[in-house]
Amino acid sequence: MPFQPRIVIVGSANTDMVVKTQRIPHPGETVIGGEFIMAAGGKGANQAVAAARLGAHVTLIARLGRDIFGDQAIAGYEREGIDTSFIVRDAAVPSGVALIFVDTQGENSIAVASGANASLTPTDVERAKEAIARADILLVQLEIPMDAVHRAIELAHDAGVQTILNPAPGQRLAPDLLAQVSVLTPNEHEIQMVAGAPDREAAVTRILQFGTRQVLVTLGKEGVLWANAQARQIVPAFEVKVVDTTAAGDAFNGGLACALGRGLPMKEAIHYANAAAAISVTRMGAQPSLPTGDEVKALLKQVLPEQQHL
């Protein structure tokens, strides 16, 4: 059995309400005839489920409302084997909800009502200080308040724990925060927002100059641009039939955290993460689409037989 890395994830937890339509509606337009799916989502929770299904021991730090969505979310995380002891239940605000349109090409449009996610505090994160210090990987995104993000990364950095920051939704980030990040994983749209740079190459250069050790820019079907102080290269994606891209980035980040937590070299970790993302886009929904470790291993064995140990 593969080594079970300890991964702490600080992030959002939502309920996703998905409508699959012929195309995404324009402003003021109604599109009839869609298929409705309701499933657990939120970037933090999606990445937690992704890593847990791939074999990691996962602790999730988040906030949920004291409502039926929160109850269902907690029950789902516990079924996945996720440690929920640091999830705060907030009586003052509802659980987060995301409304998602998905078209026949698998592209999506998402609106999020953050709810309890917007109330996550540095104190909530501080409660998990010991768990963060014991972790192999800390994984954080930006669907929660920035002061909570800063505190989580600071605690991991001080403890010598490798940190992955998935800067989604994209926004400008302070150089002192980026200096404490081990691996930054923006997509091709987010990278320029993070650095405040005119193009992708300039943005990567600026982020590395700030002190981030590795930058992985996810490029969809084009693969991943992997950059560090020594070199830059494209690691290709896997070719699959795309049904829904909603959780592709979350599958990638959960897979990357799991692979790096097991001590795999970066290029092999990217292959592993790419395989997890590839499987996820062949299925509808966020958490329902996330693969198991056996599924990822089977795809890698088929496509990269020389690296089937992944």
Strands 137-140 and 108-113: unpaired
Query: CA-to-CA distance for 44 and 117, rounded, in angstroms?
Result: 10
Q: For the chain, state the CA radius of gyration.
A: 18
Query: CA-to-CA distance for 25 and 170, rounded, in angstroms?
Result: 23
- Are 46 and 290 in contact by the 8 Å Cβ rule? The answer is yes
DSSP 307: G
**Set 16, 124, 244, 250: catalytic member:** 250
Length reported for the chain: 310
Query: CA-to-CA distance for 156 and 58, rounded, in angstroms?
Result: 15
In terms of Cβ atoms closer than 10 Å to its own Cβ (0-12, 13-18, 19+), residue 85 is exposed
| 158 in active site | no
Task: Calculate the alpha carbon distances from 110 to 32, 102, 107, 262, 271 in Å.
Answer: 18, 9, 10, 33, 27
Residue 200 C-alpha from the chain's centroid: 21
Nearby residues of 287 by Cβ (< 8 Å), 6 or more positions away: 39, 40, 41, 45, 46, 49, 76, 247
- Are 60 and 84 in contact by the 8 Å Cβ rule? The answer is yes
Q: Which of 180, 144, 175, 176 is CA-nearest to residue 164?
A: 180
Known catalytic residues are 250
